[in-house]
C-alpha cells in the first residue's frame, strides 16, 4: 500500500513539475497563451515517455542489460527535471527581473466565481461517475480480455534482464529477432522501471494502478479539449466531461472503443492513444498551438506500432490543417466573386 501511494504521488507530481517547467521555459507566462496547468501535466507525461524512449533505444542499440537501462532512465529523469526547472527559473528572471516588468500582476487572474447550484450538481454527478469508472476498473477480473503484450514484455524484461531477447508468448528466444518497429516501443521499459523503482508487481501496475491513472489523465486531456471549445463557460465544460464519462461506461462492452480499452486494457498504448493523445491533439488544434502538436505525434510513434510513424494523431493533424486550408481557399474565392 505504501509503495502504491508513493507511485501514485510520483505519477502526479513529476509530470506536473516537468511539464509546467517546460511550458514556462518556452512561453514564460504560458497561461497567456491559452495554456493551462493541465497542458503542462500532459506535456510532462509525454516528455517522460520521450525520456523512456531515449533510454530504451540507447540500451537496445548498445546491448545493455535492462537494469542498466533503468539506471540510465533514472539519470535522464533527474537531469531533465533539473534542467527544465533551471530553464524555467532563468526564463522568469529574464522576463521579470531584467526586463523590469511588474511583478505583482503578471497573471491575468480571472475573478473567482463561486459555483452555482447547477455547477454544484454537475460537479457531484461527475464525481459519482468518475468513482463508478474507477470501481469498474478495480472489480474487473476477466483477464482473458487483455490482448496486449505490454505486461508480458515488462515481466520478461525484468526476469531476463534483457530487452527483446525472449518471446513473451512462447518463453523461448527469438530465432530471427523481434521486428525493428516493434523493438522501439518503449512502454514496457517505462513500466518495468516503475516496477523496479517502487517494488510493484507487474500485474498490479498493469491491471490496477495504470488503468486508474490513465483514466484520470484521460479526464485531464478531455478537460483541455472542453476548455478549448468553451473557454468562458465552466458549466459547459463540466457537462462535456460528464458526457465523456457516460460514453466511457456505455462503451464498456464495445471492443475497440475508448470505454472498453480503459476498463479492460487501461495499461495499453492503444488506450493512451485514443483516450489521451487524440483529445490532447484536438485541443491543441482548436487553440492553434501547432508547435506543441509534435508532442502527441511523437508520443504515439514511441508507444504504438504505427505505419512508418504515421499514426492517428498525425493523420488528425494533417486532416485538420487540410480542412482549414480548403476552407480559407473557398472563402477567398467566394469573397472574390462577390
pLDDT in tens, 294-318: 999 999 999 987 665 568 888 888 8
Least confident of 21-35, 63-77, 167-181, 308-322: 167-181
Cβ atoms of residues 162 and 213 within 8 Å? no
Query: Residues 86-145: pLDDT tens digits?
Result: 888 887 777 666 555 544 444 444 445 677 888 889 999 999 999 999 999 888 766 555
Predicted local confidence at residue 201, as pLDDT:
93
pTM, rounded to two decimals: 0.88
At 44-58, the pLDDT tens digits run: 999 999 999 999 999
Spatial distance between the Cα atoms of 210 and 216, rounded to a whole number of angstroms = 10
% of residues, the chain, pLDDT over 90: 47
| pLDDT mean across residues, the chain | 85
Sign of CA pseudo-dihedral 286, 131, 212, 146: negative
- Per-residue burial over 297-319, b if 16 or more Cβ lie within 10 Å, else e, is bbbbbbbbebeeeebbbbebbee
The torsion angles phi and psi of 111, rounded to 5 degrees, stand at: -65, 130
Report CA Rg, the chain: 22
Extents of the domains making up the chain: 2-102+118-321
Three-class SS of 45-62:
HHHHHHHHHHHHHHHHHH
Mean pLDDT of 24-37: 78
Amino acid at each position: 500500500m505504501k509503495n502504491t501511494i508513493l507511485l501514485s504521488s510520483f505519477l502526479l507530481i513529476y509530470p506536473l513539475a516537468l511539464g509546467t517547467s517546460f511550458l514556462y521555459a518556452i512561453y514564460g507566462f504560458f497561461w497567456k497563451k491559452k495554456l493551462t496547468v493541465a497542458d503542462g501535466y500532459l506535456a510532462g507525461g509525454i516528455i517522460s515517455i520521450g525520456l523512456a524512449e531515449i533510454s530504451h533505444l540507447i540500451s537496445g542499440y548498445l546491448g545493455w542489460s535492462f537494469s542498466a537501462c533503468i539506471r540510465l532512465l533514472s539519470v535522464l529523469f533527474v537531469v531533465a527535471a533539473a534542467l527544465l526547472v533551471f530553464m524555467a527559473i532563468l526564463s522568469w528572471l529574464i522576463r521579470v527581473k531584467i526586463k523590469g516588468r511588474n511583478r505583482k500582476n503578471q497573471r491575468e487572474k480571472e475573478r473567482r466565481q463561486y459555483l452555482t447550484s447547477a455547477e454544484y450538481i454537475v460537479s457531484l454527478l461527475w464525481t459519482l461517475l468518475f468513482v463508478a469508472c474507477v470501481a469498474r476498473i478495480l472489480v474487473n477480473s476477466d483477464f482473458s480480455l487483455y490482448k496486449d503484450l505490454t505486461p508480458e514484455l515488462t515481466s520478461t524484461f525484468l526476469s531476463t534482464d534483457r530487452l527483446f531477447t525472449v518471446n513473451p508468448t512462447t518463453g523461448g528466444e527469438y530465432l530471427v529477432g523481434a521486428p525493428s518497429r516493434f523493438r522501439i516501443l518503449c512502454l514496457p521499459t517505462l513500466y518495468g522501471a516503475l516496477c523496479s523503482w517502487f517494488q510493484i508487481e507487474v500485474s498490479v501496475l498493469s491491471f490496477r494502478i495504470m488503468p486508474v491513472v490513465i483514466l484520470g489523465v484521460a479526464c485531464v486531456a478531455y478537460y483541455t479539449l472542453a476548455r478549448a471549445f468553451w473557454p468562458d463557460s465552466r458549466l459547459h465544460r463540466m457537462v462535456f466531461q460528464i458526457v465523456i464519462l457516460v460514453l466511457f461506461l456505455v462503451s464498456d462492452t464495445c471492443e475497440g472503443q475508448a470505454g472498453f480499452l480503459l476498463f479492460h486494457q487501461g495499461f495499453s498504448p492503444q488506450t493512451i492513444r485514443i483516450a489521451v493523445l487524440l483529445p490532447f491533439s484536438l485541443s491543441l488544434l482548436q487553440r492553434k498551438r501547432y508547435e506543441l502538436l509534435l508532442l502527441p505525434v511523437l508520443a504515439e510513434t514511441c508507444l504504438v506500432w504505427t505505419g512508418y510513424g504515421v499514426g492517428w494523431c498525425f493523420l488528425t493533424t494533417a486532416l485538420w490543417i487540410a480542412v482549414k486550408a480548403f476552407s480559407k481557399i473557398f472563402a477567398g474565392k467566394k469573397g472574390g466573386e462577390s
